[in-house]
Structure 1
């Protein structure tokens, strides 16, 4: 019995000594705290349901590992803690610090959801309104540093009074990391500057994407803006809550609602964004249906009371992982079929976003995977780089398509100009053919030229259709450039005939007629080599009023020329057969050419003989005075 009594006594004394011993964290090397943080990841004293002041000899209820939510603490009959509700005290003595030195730690969400921090008996930070009657807790969080000083022995005792009612978890949420105040403040403000720059960049992307959506009405820009916005809110309300630093009076429940958006909304709009980039990824599945839970959660985020909403967070987290997994599966399947930049970049970005989201969620749940670091900001920065490269690639592809389209349109325009010359558009004061409408017209005095192959019907009857086309095309290829060279416009082709107008100069029409006949001398030699008939043409030139316009309807428009002077020109050309002359011109065109020459202080070089028709209208025959050889 004595032995049994002795054993029981030792067990009781040992148990009492364990709980009576104050939880202590001894810093191994206080020099390290000059430039680096040290995590207080050790056992802390925990007192349930009461705020135990510094110096009290009350034995703690538990020795608990921090960070760790008190929902899982092994205390009998603590049903409230299992739901996150409750109040309590956390205490830890820190030793081996540099004596009489100031230290700091980051306070935001150190505890949920309201807390006070004491260094020994001195209050150093307060967040919200705590109460041992946890139902009276008033939630609030601040993004700042709490500062305390070590005593002459290099010791200090930190005490956290924590109470929570609305949040689903309670206790100290994150590892407390301390560092000497001077260096910690410098690092804190450096981080603020860095995150401000990152935030400014993200806001620029958001605004720019919204502007592009407003201008181009492409949903890709809208989905990208919403996705970047949701990630922005997650980073700056949870990962590094710069918003709370600059706007400390924002209610905590609003911060939480903004924080949750990335969990459910980002995966949804990312699905729609990926689908808008590449329609083949979700071609067999309705992308909007896959994204629909995001919009349901958004409504719940707005409508539900916080005490209910934050208990949906695990479901949101599950939905987030499911959505990322579904996207990943479809993108991998598509990558196996389509090997292109969009697919590969999308696959890579969803992997890094998934990794960043996973570390962020584990971090908020108190799971220390990477020495207490979560990679959501870094993963999103890498995502931004990838999207920049992808958008640059898409822009380059679009530029190539635009260049290709411009080249195509240029060829199309060239083809159109074969039917409607540029000069005709200029004559009607139009920039391009798209501006033409039926009923457009313009009248002016100008020279008119008519040319026709003599005896074409008789000649064509002796040739095959192929030979006829070969002959006509060879003829037109030689003659048309001469007309254009002399600033003439081919008004229309009439089978083997040509009607051309010369708006700028009557003399140009005369010179053109001579050059055309000169060209025919060379063309006849070529026709002999090709065993084609040695054709001759007759040319008539006149000067008078011409009205050019468009006729038809909305579906079919054609160029129309109306003028009795065109009829006179055709009549002059027909007279070349009667008088056996290659060129016959009228008196009005000679008078107009003479006036042009006088305005330029020169004489008109013209050789020809006068002939009269049956109606006594004068016609003139001219010949090539350059070679002196009749045509």
Structure 2
């Protein structure tokens, strides 16, 4: 399959003007009859810089290479030595300018003026005919001898510029548009076909072509034609069509993939430009060689086929410049944006708005502009290499492969180097390098994002040690950066206060580092119980902790009992290490809490404001006075799903600062040592009876009741407390 290197003709590049005499040189060797036009290699070289082709080249129709095949000499080709090989019909075809000669008259050779001979493929302006112009018409003729009369052959034809009628042995076998002797009579078109032909009984094919061009820059048989057995030529055409479909689908999917990447990450414009470039290249593949776009859009006219092909050229210049700018912003020269983008956009507008002949006539100027732009982009790449910008080295490798392949093919087109054309391989390497650069950029971005996400996760995890995640949730916030000063939320919750008793006395006996070690060891043992029972720590209070429980009171009570048991285990494990055993009191109350942030913009803190907090703190202080483990309010007892499931006793009513009414208090002693639990069980009835007598002001009965409790539980501080109160009032 040939590489469609430009929009001027079906398989030729519009980047530079026609090469004139170079078109008359014999073509260099190329593998197996490639459709690569020799005269357009410099155009391909320039166009390759802009990736305006997609190639996976190979023989067009199989068979031997042109250097091994017979060549057309003065309008004659003898294939008697290779009648079953696919042969390129390159060489000197007979040509008559400004005439449409009758094939029958040519066959009879009656009244036919002497022919001129011109190299095919090539434009008729290079045939040395003084009167020949780029726009005009004429007749080509080739007689092929030495064919097998019993074998069906096929002609493989690629577009004549820009209309043609093909006769074989006097019969029309192919019509491309409608050739005419004037612009009004011509109907231009581009087409490619495999035409079955049969030699006569003598093994001769007499090929006559009427061609005209009044719509494009130049006319003639500018593309190669092939002749060979029908099955071989048809199979080669099918392979090339499949290759084009594969390339179209692959490059289009690549483009859509990178466009999708841009959709999900809008800041990276390199993926946008590369994705659009791939889409443009994919469309370009459909516009040349086999013109597969006509199968997708059967009604597409030649004018829009022409415009679409040209637009893929100018748009690719625009997109590659944009790609370089987004990829290497530090090495980019700002004036290039205006020069290249405006120039490419202006030519695209000309192609879209004006007739094909106008854009064709301006093509040479845009070719020079494109070459200059390519040189400027090469300078940007060198500058990026010097700066060691990411992706520059990889893109330079692809650019180098393209450059080497272009130089090779230019030399091959001049007959200096043998071998097949390889620019298509260089193009693929350059396109692949571009895709790797964009992919690498995304990979680096993804790795950076992962690293930053991990750092953010660690930061958030660290911050959550200071600000509970649950606190954020109740403020309807997902992260700390969403919190503003004054955010608040009202919630009904249970508050638990816990504090180590006699901590000040203990800390005085320990050095500072041992004090911190002790506190942290203690908290590491008891705080997991809070989380384990559905609560969370609101704040640490030196040797104490304040916790909140969003669920019912049972969870807080279970946690308090478990904390008492953990403290007992802690004392056993740390026996002798901290001078004396540790004890702690727990106070629990529930109510409506206001969670929010206080402070000022430079320093704020989360806090909980509520009478429930104050009362829970007061209850925790009461445990010190009464030397008990857990004190809860009446509201907590009423909120338990089954109060009888807990060992408890009523302690009376206490006053709370700021409240007129006293609050009833209960001790829950399920967390006490087993022997103490049994003794408290035994005195519970007597104790509560004494409390009842006290509040009836039957102080004598109360005194007797508390003394009976002390006989069983001599160190029961609540009983001592009431006895002191009675004596103080001198009422006993």
TM-score, reference length from structure 2 = 0.69
Aligned equivalent of 2:240 = 191
Aligned equivalent of 1:446 = 494
Query: Is the partner of 2:118 in helix, strand or coil?
Result: strand
Query: Is the partner of 1:91 in helix, strand or coil?
Result: strand
Give, in whole Å, the separation in 1 of the partners of 2:418 and 2:227: 15
Give, in whole Å, the separation in 2 of the partners of 1:296 and 1:122: 46
Query: Do the aligned partners of 2:538 and 2:548 also contact (CA within 8 Å) in 1?
Result: yes
Aligned equivalent of 2:646 = 604
Is the alpha carbon distance of 1:118 and 1:368 closer, same or farther for their aligned partners in structure 2, counting shifts above 3 Å? farther
RCO (CA 8 Å, sep 6+): is it higher in 1 or 2? Answer: 2
Residue 536 of structure 1, CA deviation: 6.0
Aligned equivalent of 1:174 = 223
Give, in whole Å, the separation in 2 of the partners of 1:557 and 1:459: 32
Aligned equivalent of 2:460 = 413
Residue 88 of structure 1, CA deviation: 1.6
Pair 1:541 & 2:583 matched = no
Residue 182 of structure 1, CA deviation: 2.5
CA RMSD of aligned residues (A): 4.1
Pair 1:347 & 2:389 matched = no
Is the alpha carbon distance of 1:577 and 1:448 closer, same or farther for their aligned partners in structure 2, counting shifts above 3 Å? closer
Is the alpha carbon distance of 1:561 and 1:243 closer, same or farther for their aligned partners in structure 2, counting shifts above 3 Å? same
Correspondence for 1:29 among 49, 74, 81? 81
Within-5 A mapping of 1:547-558: 547-551=593-597, 558=605
Correspondence for 2:629 among 583, 608, 629? 583
Is the alpha carbon distance of 1:550 and 1:283 closer, same or farther for their aligned partners in structure 2, counting shifts above 3 Å? farther
Correspondence for 2:317 among 267, 277, 280? 267
Is the alpha carbon distance of 1:522 and 1:546 closer, same or farther for their aligned partners in structure 2, counting shifts above 3 Å? farther
Within-5 A mapping of 1:120-519: 120-133=169-182, 136-214=185-263, 216-218=265-267, 219-244=269-294, 247=297, 249-282=299-332, 287=337, 289-338=339-388, 340=390, 342-352=391-401, 379-383=426-430, 385-386=432-433, 389-390=436-437, 392-425=439-472, 439-446=487-494, 448-451=496-499, 454=502, 456=504, 473=520, 476-504=523-551, 505-515=555-565, 517-518=567-568, 519=570
Query: Do the aligned partners of 1:482 and 1:515 also contact (CA within 8 Å) in 2?
Result: no
Query: Is the partner of 2:144 in helix, strand or coil?
Result: strand
Give, in whole Å, the separation in 1 of the partners of 2:469 and 2:307: 64
Within-5 A mapping of 1:2-13: none
Is the alpha carbon distance of 1:314 and 1:586 closer, same or farther for their aligned partners in structure 2, counting shifts above 3 Å? same
Give, in whole Å, the separation in 1 of the partners of 2:347 and 2:254: 25
Give, in whole Å, the separation in 2 of the partners of 1:484 and 1:436: 24
Cα distance per residue 1:564-619 (max 9 Å; x no partner): 2322222233334544x263513538836974475xxxx5356x895775768546
Query: Do the aligned partners of 1:482 and 1:512 also contact (CA within 8 Å) in 2?
Result: yes
Correspondence for 1:66 among 83, 97, 120? 120
Cα distance per residue 1:393-427 (max 9 Å; x no partner): 44543443343233223212212322332344566
Query: Do the aligned partners of 2:501 and 2:585 also contact (CA within 8 Å) in 1?
Result: no
Aligned equivalent of 1:43 = 92
Is the alpha carbon distance of 1:114 and 1:590 closer, same or farther for their aligned partners in structure 2, counting shifts above 3 Å? closer
TM-score, reference length from structure 1 = 0.79
Residue 234 of structure 1, CA deviation: 3.0
Aligned equivalent of 2:36 = none
Query: Do the aligned partners of 2:141 and 2:206 also contact (CA within 8 Å) in 1?
Result: yes
Query: Is the partner of 1:30 in helix, strand or coil?
Result: coil
Give, in whole Å, the separation in 2 of the partners of 1:597 and 1:619: 11
Aligned equivalent of 2:149 = 99
Query: Is the partner of 2:444 in helix, strand or coil?
Result: helix
Q: Mean alpha-carbon deviation: is it higher for 320-329 or for 407-416?
A: 320-329
Is the alpha carbon distance of 1:554 and 1:158 closer, same or farther for their aligned partners in structure 2, counting shifts above 3 Å? farther
Query: Do the aligned partners of 2:100 and 2:210 also contact (CA within 8 Å) in 1?
Result: yes
Residue 263 of structure 1, CA deviation: 3.0
Query: Do the aligned partners of 1:26 and 1:94 also contact (CA within 8 Å) in 2?
Result: yes
Correspondence for 1:559 among 584, 606, 616? 606
Residue 26 of structure 1, CA deviation: 1.0
Give, in whole Å, the separation in 1 of the partners of 2:305 and 2:405: 21
Residue 177 of structure 1, CA deviation: 1.5
Cα distance per residue 1:182-212 (max 9 Å; x no partner): 2212322232233223222333334444455
Give, in whole Å, the separation in 2 of the partners of 1:597 and 1:283: 81
- Unaligned residue ranges in structure 2 (runs of 5+): 1-72, 656-661, 677-714, 717-732
Give, in whole Å, the separation in 2 of the partners of 1:290 and 1:481: 66
Query: Do the aligned partners of 1:506 and 1:543 also contact (CA within 8 Å) in 2?
Result: no
Q: Mean alpha-carbon deviation: is it higher for 608-617 or for 501-510?
A: 608-617
